[in-house]
Amino acid sequence: MKDLVPVGVPAIDEVMQTVTKRLHSERSKIEYIQDANVFAKFLIERGKTSAQEITYVDMVNYQDWLAVNQDTNKHRSRRRINRMFSVARQVLDIHKRMGTLAYNPAEAIDSLAVDEDASPHIALNKEQATALLAAIDTSTRYGKQEYAVMSLLLRTGLRRAECASLKVKDLDMDSGHYIARVLGKGGMNSIVKVPVDVKNYIQEWLDASGRTVTLESPLFVGFSRGDHPTAIQINPKWIERMVVKYASKIGMKRFTPHSLRASFITLVLENDATLIQTQYAARHKDPRQTERYQRRKLNLNDNAVDKLSFLSRRD
């Protein structure tokens, strides 16, 4: 992560280790440092390097400046802006706690309003989910691993980093059910139920791989030329490339691995899982977070309005 560390801006360099200290995920640490680099770029353009030089007006201008990615000229979403701004706010808050600043100049600046009732992620419907899996050619070992990974993500709601880090020992049995033991968001250990058929897809991949595996072996691995599995654990980027590849085959754009998680949550809710069941399966702390993923709440075929049809006048 050396190339991601902000350079020449003591206001950021001096506290980033403290800011990232409590982050358990390496991916989160990288994202925080990337966002800190953006803040550093903003400060460098204005000739400000020390925390004491940063004012309330600077932070208001920074929030506005974040609206457009200066490298690509593309507009950022409000959620993205809020996340990036929160990193800058934390940097300044550490300075305040250290006594470098008397107050945090970003403290009184509100986050941008976003639609809290909707997830920004695309969710597949039944037909699209079926087509996504059908697009994978399982006649090769590579295809068998792709099918196992895609099924695991879509059928359990695992995050891509959780899936990529799985080892053979993480697949287990509990009370007669197949499970995966995962290190989830925030460093929490979790148990995720794995459907029998998905466990079979994983076993088909392991059997076909020709690998000599131990309990410590990675469950999913990279490949060398000619459909040859290696012993090296896959990177979450491998999952991202795979998901984008097959999503494009069924005409889905702007589709990400997290869209599979959004699809899982949406589809189970639409197939009569309760909100509480879905919350626990998704491992959300708050049911309101789960509900935001339900992308098709307005069901005109089975709507609350229809429940009072008994009041219809009988002529």
Split at pLDDT 50, 70, 90, the class of 101 is very high
> Would the pLDDT of 28 be above 90?
no
pLDDT at 282: 84
Percent of the chain past pLDDT 70, that is, above it, reads 87
Can you read off the two tokens belonging to residue 153?
A: 């993500």
Average pLDDT over residues 38-49: 91
What's the CA gap between 56 and 92, in Å, rounded?
11
Average pLDDT over residues 83-107: 92
The larger pLDDT score, comparing residue 112 to residue 84, is at 84
> Would the pLDDT of 264 be above 70?
yes
Kindly state the greatest CA–CA separation across the chain. Answer: 81
> Would the pLDDT of 246 be above 90?
yes
Split at pLDDT 50, 70, 90, the class of 295 is low
Highest mean pLDDT among 18-22, 121-125, 202-206, 295-299: 202-206
pLDDT at 2: 45
Q: Where are the alpha helices (DSSP H) in 46-73?
A: 56-65
What's the CA gap between 80 and 198, in Å, rounded?
34
Can you read off the two tokens belonging to residue 195?
A: 């459907």
Mark 280-296 as b/e (b = at least 16 C-beta within 10 Å).
ebbbbeeeeebbbbbbe
Strand order in the sheet with 189-193: 171-174, 177-183, 189-193
Express each pLDDT in 112-165 by its tens digit. 876 555 555 678 899 999 999 999 999 999 999 999 999 999 999 999 999 999
Can you read off the two tokens belonging to residue 118?
A: 């909707």
What's the whole-model pTM score? 0.64
Split at pLDDT 50, 70, 90, the class of 99 is very high
> Would the pLDDT of 217 be above 80?
yes
